[in-house]
Amino acid sequence: MSQPSHGTRVELHHEQGYRFRVRFPGGMPELITDEPPPLGGGAGPNPTALLATALANCLASSLLFCLRKQRIETSAFETTVEVDTARNPEGRMRITGVRIDLAPEVSAADRERMGRCLELFETFCVVTESVRHGIPVSVGVEPRVRG
């Protein structure tokens, strides 16, 4: 296995309640995240919605990349994600499943040529394949004392 790359850095800055301002590298627009009411104010997507978005966007991009390599044109491309949650034995909410439906609109002739892409595209999705196989997460907490 290759050395891990630390190529992406995202910063979250707490604003109020459960609302955070997310800063991405490279001058990308900031994003507000928040928990839905009654816990938060619902000012932006919560972590579950962000994970669902990451999974779906990665898969859609992977399929689109393969289709373009095969010179299969899409006139539209819709993706829907459904996330199931349930309480674990300790009573904490967990994601128990994710269903992603991809609907690229292609010609009838191109539909017949999509077979190879349908076999391969999932394996090229960095996010989905990482989540499926589990991602080691290390956590550090460094409290800062107000001065």
CATH number for 96 = 3.30.300.20
- Residue 144 pLDDT > 80: yes
Per-residue confidence (pLDDT) for residue 88, from 0 to 100 = 96
Regarding whether 56 and 34 lie in a shared domain, the answer is no
Regarding whether 112 and 70 lie in a shared domain, the answer is yes
Please check whether residue 39 is in contact with residue 18, taking contact to mean a CB–CB distance below 8 angstroms: yes
- Residue 1 pLDDT > 60: no
Q: Residues near 114 by Cβ (< 8 Å), separated by ≥ 6?
A: 67, 70, 72, 106
- In this prediction, residue 41 has a pLDDT band, given cuts at 50, 70 and 90, of very high
Regarding whether 98 and 29 lie in a shared domain, the answer is no
Mean pLDDT of all residues belonging to the chain: 93
Which structural domain, as residue segments, surrounds residue 122?
46-132
How many angstroms from the chain centroid is the CA of residue 115? 25
- In this prediction, residue 93 has a pLDDT band, given cuts at 50, 70 and 90, of very high
